[in-house]
Structure 1
Amino acid sequence: MPRFRSFVYNSTFFLNGLLLFLLVMESRLVIPAWLQVAGRMHPLLLHFPIVVLVLYAGWILVGPRQDQEPFYRQLADQLLLLGAFTAALTALVGLLLAQEEGYEASALFWHKWTGAGTSFLSLTAYHFRNHFRSQRVPARLASAGLVGLLLYTGHLGGNITHGADFVLAPLRSGSEPSVALADAVVFTHLVQPVLEEKCISCHSTQKAKGELVMETAELLTQGGKNGVLWDTTQADLGLLLRRVHLPLDDKKHMPPKGKVQLTEAEVLMLESWIRRGASFTMKVHELPTTDPLYAYAAARLQGTSGTSYDFPVADESTLRELTSNYRVITPLFAGSPALVVNFYNPAGFSAQDITALKPIREQVVAMDLSTMPLKDEDVKSLAQFPNLERLILNFTPITGSTLTELKKVPRLKTLSLTGTKVTAAQLRPLSTFPALRTVYAADTDIPPTEFDQLKKQLTSLHWESGFRSDTVRLKLTPPVIENEEQIISGPVPLRLKHAIRGTVIRYTTDGSEPDSVSSPVYKPGITIAKNTQLKARVFKEGWYGSDQAEYFFFQSALRPQRLQLITKPDPQYPAQGSATLMDSVKSEASYKSGQWLGYLNEPMVLGLHFEKPTAVSSITLSTLRQVSNSIFPPEQIEVWGGPNEKQLKVLGTLQPTMPTLETRSVRGLAFECKFDPTTVQYIKVVAKPVGKLPPWHSRRGERAWVFVDELFVN
């Protein structure tokens, strides 16, 4: 037994020494695929040191004095040694796991060092165990401190894995203020809770798998390294739903196998939200009652919305008798006694179709009569539904002369009159309706000035007037750039398109942001013939302008006879050597793709040999920016030229703009160093890495990486 204990102690000492060495040399650490499997054992192993060290601390804090009986002393020693060994092993495989992409640097930094500290401290405590044995108070304090550090380390790891609010989330969700269905915002009260429950654990600022963060609307819109999350011009609506619909065993399926999956209702809700433009401000009351989003909202929010239905459930046989292909009656949500009625056949509609609903008049809370040949006198029959909350009369022939009859409906909250012939005078009495809160009156003949007066005078109502300044508008999707070639040797036509008719695509090529007024309008026939940073947005009256689409065209007009890497890249990122820079293949946005040359401790220095004297006016480097992994643009780019290697002069220098604390995205960047046309036969290019990362970076003071995948001479 002593021999085995000695072996475990020596193994623990060795593992701690290896752990310390790898921590110091982490920036140069390269993990092969087979060793990544060991790193992914970290979530399994971490339970052992937690249990064993907590048992040890409990034994020291409440157990008998160790000097009274050898058994007590041996048990404490064995628990501490086992805890030290498993802590070292767990910290070591955790360090291997930390080399994978997707973790926020600051959160990972503290979890990594507190985990290593737990390993070092437990080994130290075992080494000096005899010194503390007779001193009960110091021993208890030391064991309590060890467990405190262990639990804090576990807390940091839990934040990375599940999100910072994972533990207290159930308590907080129960204490959230209720929201009425009429006041609910689709994104805030429907979409965001699902993302927080099913997605945030892998896509937060602390653990951003695929460089995707879903904590805010801005970061969600930005997308990750694989692109934006939705695109309504695509049949499958883009990346988010594409990943959701993959087979469960597919490694790209989201959420991953083993995680809590999205329900069918949640998937349908997300699909409907994206189809409607993925608005972050749209409210539930703006939706048709037939929309899956509305049904999902009713099912999710009705229980906390302050609306309760105490009327009895309608008779099933009555519902079957009243339901047809042209008059569909459905529950407001599963299990609810409240009913929604929708009419679909204008040709066969008559006022009798409304009065026939008398047997279920108490249960009807929403009715959609859009496009039906409804007459003003028919509106009177709608007053027989005492619990009607939402009434849609869009594009019906009514003039509004009998709208005051609806004042008899005590619970009417939403009234939609879009496309009718109502007048401003007929809308004024609506402010006296007891429960009415929202009125839709788009596409009417009411002049904008009169409508503005209504809004100012009748402030108790929320007015929606369609395509005017107060409308709730949808956001356009970005334009589609159809050009497949990114590296060009001559003029190529620019090809942009958008799925929605009547849109205007505006673009810039000077690095500025496109706007809806001064930026050039895209028309077929525009050509790209040089290095160009294209930015494009889509605009249309009555819609919010799209997000920006961006594309960089690289011109490659001259090709040196030979390209030489004067300084070698870091051994971790050799790519294909000098051939990488002239293969006309743009790399993926992952620095581990094997297509990037990586430099850290010395500048990248290249030598370009031309067969004969050649006039050159610019050098362009294609680089990568990934702030979380210390990949920055070069601090400075220098271009030297002359007839040979020994007769060189500076042709041009460039100092790229550095990232800031707010810079999160992973992007390929191009830096063009221009200079006066000069005839040369040899060029030297120097790209200097940033010497010290800024104070706001988690690895402040360390050197930054420079990654390059292509070089272009023009």
Structure 2
Amino acid sequence: MPKVSRIAAILENLLFFWLGLALILSVAGESLSIPPILQVLGRAHPLILHFPIVLLLMAVVLLWVKDAKLRELGTWTLLLGANLTGLTVLAGLLLANEDYDGDMLVWHQWLGVASLGLAVLIYFYRNKSTQFVKFSTASLALVITLTGHFGADLTHGENFLLAPIQSEEVEFVALDDAEVFQHMVKPILEAKCVACHKEGKVKGELRLDDLAGMQKGGKNGPFVVPGDLKESLLIQRIHLPEESKEHMPPKNKAQLTEEELEILQLWVESGSSFDQKVAELPKETPLFQLASNRFSNQKNYTFDAASDSDIADLNNFFRKVNPVFPGSPALEVAYYGTSAFDPASLKELKSIKAQVVKLNLNRMPLEGVDLAFLRDFPHLEELQLNFTGVQASQLANLEPLESLRNLALSGNQLGADAVEALGKLSQVKRLFLWNSGLDKESQDRLQQALSSAHIDFGFDGKGVIYPLNSPKVSYDKVFFQDSMELILSHPIRKAEIRYTLDGTEPDSLSSPIYTAPIWVKKTGEFRAKAFAADWIGSLPTKDVFFKAGIVPQSYRLAHEGNGRYKANGASSLFDHEKGKTTHGSGNWLGFNESPLELEIFLEKNNSPKEISISILLNETAYIFPPEKVEIWTGNQQNWQKIPETESTQSTKIEEARFGVLTFPLPETGFDQVKIRLKPISKLPSWHPGAGAKGWVFVDEILLN
């Protein structure tokens, strides 16, 4: 027993040694010269800290129980744990002299000392009262927890402890709003560099968690030198061999990807600006190309959607109102038919004024029309007023439109008077003024007033080779019973028209030359282009045509279309009414969350030889070919799945257009067909909405 008492006495005296030395290092540690052997002890801090934490928390539990033997065990556990805490605190204070500073370190340091002090206090006053023991031990448990929290933040990054239970919403950034440093460079630094170069842990005297630290650089040189890869410490270190001591990130940490390396290098090459917007980069630069794949052209609008009834009331034969892409609350409005246009109808848009972001009034007679109604559209971003007869005096109404970014005024004789009004539209980033009556002096003054905007005044056409117009195609109707005549024409007589009937692009060498009307006898996709000497080949004319085929006895859809895209249900697929290229025209069934699953019932002994599916393609609106098409034929007893073929997916963004998927059916008899079209599950990496779920739109299914 005396031997045990001697051990206890030694350990009790050591407590005051640890506590005194800890206070000395806490107050005057920075002015002391730490021998290398003690630096080794300091670096052992992360290795030894876990054991005293466990002992102290065990002691807290044991001192709360009433059993005398367990309380005695708690006393010995507390004594041993307090001594190990003293050793751990000293090691931590020695380690703090190596590239650590900041508020986080101060909190961790003094909470560690407080843990030691509380453990010593509880040990010597453990018999004072039950209330004292309970209050002091509960305080010790809390202080240990906070010490561990700040220690984890120092080692692993801010808020490391609570990160798993906190929501991680991915920031949606539109291309127009993206900043090069904030949204491309900073996330890389935060993920791969900041853990070792931040408040509380400043290796090499370099801080990367604030702008001032980056601009200051570290003890080995400037972090970045604008435009100079050789002198920029960042570029030097990330390109060193991974085995090198100076390579960053260290080889035991997550390394930079090829894309991340490229972004950092291109950022420094481009001037390492901390506030440049992506939209300000030249479009041909690699950094802009990288950014265009990372950020969406579709903005994440946070305002409430308009009611379906308001949108339905506004849609008619001369005005169309549609979401900018399926599911978006933002709306685009377009007017058609000059003769039917009534300026008073513009006031009817008031019910959706908070949702309109695009307004197309091209060729509508607006001369003298009061455009003050536009002031009520807080989110209007694009306004098309080409060939509308607007005058300079009407443009003052556009100045309050803070969200306006794109303005088209081509074909209006504005004259020099318009420069003053247009010069006040500092919010506009793209301005189109072809054939607008502005002389060279007026153009120069306007360009100076709107120095940050891209202004397109058109061109004079001298020495330019022009492209041909696309051929015109004429036919009776989209759906035919037996055959249909296609007639092609072009206003330039010497133009040679070449065409295809299988959806492939015509060329000037191998595609058939049009010489006489074409008779088509099956469903297909038609394309034609015009070619001529001294002219650029035209853009293709595209269209689809459908053989009406067999009428089913009945049909059944497993799921309705998603959202507003339900048309008239399954009957829309067999009504021989072709949808328009606008996805909101009301003729399309759209599927996003669930696939299109359709069962078709046929008359006996009337089995079709092929099935054609009419789809809409519009990559801008997230509408793609289906990811997978599955087709079964059979009857109630036996089913046969036709072999799957690779689905041809979109490879770039094109204009809205029709598509046709045609599949041969087996020659064996059947009276039922099942179809399953699965929407693309993730948009490809080249798309602005990469990773999002796509849509598939269908309007007709034909059996022949």
Q: Which TM-score band (shorter chain)?
A: 0.3 to 0.5
> What is the TM-score normalised by the length of structure 2?
0.42
> What is the TM-score normalised by the length of structure 1?
0.42
